[in-house]
Structure 1
Amino acid sequence: MKLKQLEYAIKVANSGSFSQAAKELYTSQPNISATINSLEEELGYKIFHRTNQGITLTKKGITFLSYAKNIYEELDKINEIKDSDVYKKISIGCTFDHITVSEAFVEFCAAHQDTPSINFKLYNGSSIDIIDDIYNRRTQLGILSINKIVLDSYINTMGNRNLQFDVIKDLDLNVHLRIGHPLLQEESFDFAKLSNYPLVVFNFNVKSNYTIATEFHDILSKGFINIDKMITIDHRDTRDKLVQKSNAFTVEVEKHPKMEPKNQTTVIPIPDAKMAIVFVRKKNEPLTKEIVAFIELFKKELTNLLGY
C-alpha cells in the first residue's frame, strides 16, 4: 500500500466523484480509477459503491477512510518536526463566543506574526461537533462551556472516546438585557416573564442535529426561555446590538472588563446556574508548545474576567 493510494481515496471521498478528484489532483480520471481499483484489490474489499448516480462509501470504506485520514494527519506531524521553527499551527474549537477566547487568540497571533509560515484557526461550534473534530484529529483543543449540573455525566459519556477533559473554571450564568428593559422597572425581577421576550442564540452552522436543548436543557426546565421566540445570529456584535436596542435577551457568562458599552446592558445572575469551562483534547497525547502558549494566554484572560 502506498501513500499515493491513500491520498487518492481520501480525495475521492471528499469530492464525491472520480472526475472531480482527478481535477483537484491534476491527474486523469482513468489514473484515479486504476489506483483505487488496485487499492481495493490489495485490501480485499470495496471502499466505494459505484452507481450511475455517483459514488458512496461502503461500510468498510467508512472505517478505512477514518484510518487513512489519521495516517495522513500523523504524517503531517512528522513533516512539521523539521519545520517547527518556521511553521506553526493551531486549531481551536469553542462552544461560546466570548471575548476571553478572542483576546487570547489575538494576542497569540500577534506574538507569532513574524513566523515564516502559520496556520492558526479559531472557530465556534457545538460541543458535539467540536468533540467529533478532536476525536478525528481535525482540532487540537476544544474549549467547552458545560452546565455544572450535567458535567459529570457529560464527561462520563464522552470520555470513552479516548478524550481528556480538564475543568478550568466555574462561571456564573446570567441573563443579559438592556438597562431600560421593562422587566427591570418592576420591584423584583421575575424570571418567568422572560418567556414573553425573544432569546438571542448563536447559529454554529453545525453538522450535527444541534438545538438549544442540547446546550441548555436544564435552563429550559426553569421555564423562562420560550423556544417559539428566538433570534438566531452568528456574530457577537449583532447579538450585543440586539440586546442594547430591543427587549431581547441573552443567556451567557460574565462580561469581560473590555466589553463596551458598559452602561447600556446589565446582568441578572440565574439562581443555581453555573457553567464549567472545560478543555478537551486527545488523551495521552502531548500538547504542542503553541497550544500550551495559547492556554496560558486564555487563563490570563479568565483571571482578568473574574478578578482573581
Structure 2
Amino acid sequence: MTLQQLKYAIEVAGKGSMSEAAKNLFISQPSLSSAIKDLEKEIGITIFTRTNKGIILSIEGVEFIGYARQVVEQTELLEQKYLNAKPSKQKFMVSTQHYSFAVNAFVSLIKEYGFDEYEFTLKETKTYEIIDDVKNLRSEIGILYISCTARCR
C-alpha cells in the first residue's frame, strides 16, 4: 500500500467515478482502476462496489477511506512542518538555581554564539529538578552550587 494509492482511493470516493477521478488526478482511467484493484487485493477488502451507474463505497470501504484520509492529512502536516520549513535551530538549555553568576555566564554565552544557530533557554529551578533535567536530557548543563559552611572544613 502506497501513499499514492491512498490518494487515488480518496479521490475516487469523492468523485464517485473512476473516469472523473482519473481526470482530476491526470492519469488514465485504466491506470487508476488497476491501482485501486491492486490496493484492494493487497489489503484483502473491496473498497468500492462497481455498478452500472458508477461506483460506491462498500461498508469496509467507508472505514478504509476514513483511515486513508487521516494518513494523508498527517503526511501533509509532516511535509509542511519538515519539508517546507527552514532548518530548525539547535536547542541549548541550562538548568540552575537562582544564581547571578549563572545568569551572567549564560548572557555571555548568548553574546558569543548569538541566536542564528541556537535557541537558548535558562531554567531556574530546584536542585532535584536540575539533576532530573540533565539526567533526562532536557538540559545540556545543570549548575549546582554548594556553599561550604563551618561543618565542611
TM-score (norm 2): 0.54
Match of 2:58 in 1: 58
Match of 1:45 in 2: 45
Match of 2:81 in 1: 81
Check if 1:31 corresponds to 2:31. Answer: yes
Match of 2:89 in 1: none
Which of the pair has the greater relative contact order for Cα pairs under 8 Å at 6+ separation? 1
Structure 1 Cα separation of the partners of residues 9 and 50 of structure 2: 14
Structure 2 Cα separation of the partners of residues 53 and 79 of structure 1: 37
Alignment of 1:103-252 (within 5 A): none
Structure 1 Cα separation of the partners of residues 85 and 14 of structure 2: 29
SS in 2 for 1:46: coil
Structure 1 Cα separation of the partners of residues 67 and 85 of structure 2: 25
Structure 1 Cα separation of the partners of residues 52 and 68 of structure 2: 26
**1:2 Cα deviation after fit:** 0.8
Structure 2 Cα separation of the partners of residues 49 and 84 of structure 1: 41
Structure 1 Cα separation of the partners of residues 79 and 16 of structure 2: 28
Structure 1 Cα separation of the partners of residues 53 and 26 of structure 2: 24
- Give the counterpart letter for 1:21 in structure 2: A
Q: Give unpaired runs (5+ residues) of structure 1.
A: 86-308
**1:84 Cα deviation after fit:** 4.3
Match of 1:13 in 2: 13
- Give the counterpart letter for 1:57 in structure 2: L
Radius of gyration: which is bigger?
A: 2
CA RMSD of aligned residues (A): 1.0
- Give the counterpart letter for 1:30 in structure 2: P
Q: Which has the higher strand share?
A: 1
Q: Report how many residues are paired.
A: 85
Structure 2 Cα separation of the partners of residues 40 and 17 of structure 1: 16
Match of 1:157 in 2: none
- Give the counterpart letter for 1:26 in structure 2: F
Q: Give unpaired runs (5+ residues) of structure 2.
A: 87-153
**1:4 Cα deviation after fit:** 1.1
Structure 2 Cα separation of the partners of residues 76 and 40 of structure 1: 23
Structure 2 Cα separation of the partners of residues 45 and 80 of structure 1: 32
**1:62 Cα deviation after fit:** 0.2
**1:15 Cα deviation after fit:** 1.0
SS in 2 for 1:55: strand
Q: Which has the higher helix share?
A: 2
Deviation digits for residues 185-219 of structure 1 (CA, Å, limit 9, x no counterpart): xxxxxxxxxxxxxxxxxxxxxxxxxxxxxxxxxxx
SS in 1 for 2:65: helix
Structure 2 Cα separation of the partners of residues 13 and 38 of structure 1: 16
Structure 2 Cα separation of the partners of residues 23 and 35 of structure 1: 15
Identity of aligned residues (%): 45
Structure 2 Cα separation of the partners of residues 6 and 29 of structure 1: 16
Match of 1:68 in 2: 68
SS in 2 for 1:66: helix
